[in-house]
């Protein structure tokens, strides 16, 4: 009985502690994920000669960064968006990184 309670407690602790580092897309139970996904499409009449990036990363319970679209626009000097992509890396829900790329003019 004590062993079962310990296992249940560990599973609950892992779920609670990794809640913020679980990926938004893909197979959540994959131990290592490296995915690239489309986030949004803006005005397709706008060219995409400029690219801006923003990034946030976390390890265990610590996270830092600004992976917002506005930060990526500022990085690339973009005022009009063509499209936005996201790249996410998640290793055992211990380390995660998200990069947002904004393409536009």
Q: pLDDT tens, 26-74?
A: 555 678 888 888 888 888 888 889 999 999 999 988 889 999 999 999 9
Best CA proximity match to 51, nearest among 88, 100, 7, 104: 104
Which sign, positive or negative, has the C-alpha torsion 66, 89, 44, 46? positive
Please, what is the average pLDDT of the chain?
A: 84
* High-pLDDT (> 70) share of the chain, %: 85
Q: Which domain holds residue 84?
A: 2-104
CB-based contact 27:33 (threshold 8 Å): yes
Q: What is the pLDDT of residue 75?
A: 96
Best CA proximity match to 37, nearest among 26, 22, 27: 26
Q: pLDDT tens, 23-37?
A: 555 555 678 888 888
How many domains does one find in the chain? 1
Q: Which helix (H) or strand (E) holds 71?
A: helix 69-76
pLDDT over 90 (residue 3):
no
């Amino acid at each position: 009985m004590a062993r079962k309670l310990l296992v249940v407690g560990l599973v609950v602790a892992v779920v609670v502690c990794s809640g913020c580092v679980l990926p938004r897309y893909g197979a959540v139970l994959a131990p290592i994920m490296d995915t690239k996904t489309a986030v949004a499409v803006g005005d397709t009449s706008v060219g995409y000669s400029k690219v801006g990036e923003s990034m946030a990363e976390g390890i265990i319970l610590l996270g830092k960064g600004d992976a917002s679209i506005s930060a990526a626009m500022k990085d690339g000097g973009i005022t009009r968006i063509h499209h936005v992509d996201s790249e996410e890396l998640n290793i055992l829900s211990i380390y995660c990184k998200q990069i947002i790329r904004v393409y536009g003019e």
